[in-house]
Chains A and B, each alone.
Chain A
Amino acid sequence: DAKTTQPPSMDCAEGRAANLPCNHSTISGNEYVYWYRQIHSQGPQYIIHGLKNNETNEMASLIITEDRKSSTLILPHATLRDTAVYYCIVIHSGNTPLVFGKGTRLSVIA
Chain B
Amino acid sequence: DVKVTQSSRYLVKRTGEKVFLECVQDMDHENMFWYRQDPGLGLRLIYFSYDVKMKEKGDIPEGYSVSREKKERFSLILESASTNQTSMYLCASTAAGQYEQYFGPGTRLTVT
Contact = CB atoms under 8 A, between A and B. Distances in A.
Interface of A: 34, 41-46, 49, 94-95, 97-103
Contact of B95 (A44, A45, A95): A95
B42 A102 contact: yes
B43 A95 contact: no
Contact of B43 (A42, A44, A45, A46): A44
Interface of B: 4, 30-31, 33, 35, 40, 42-45, 48, 58, 90, 92, 94-106
Contacts of B104: 43
The dominant DSSP class at the A interface is: loop
Given A95-B94, A100-B42, A43 B31 contact: no
A43 B106 contact: yes
A94 B93 CA distance: 11
Contact of B98 (A42, A45, A95, A101): A95
8 contacts: A34-B99, A44-B43, A94-B100, A95-B94, A95-B99, A95-B101, A97-B33, A100-B35
Nearest to B34: A97
Contacts of A42: 105-106
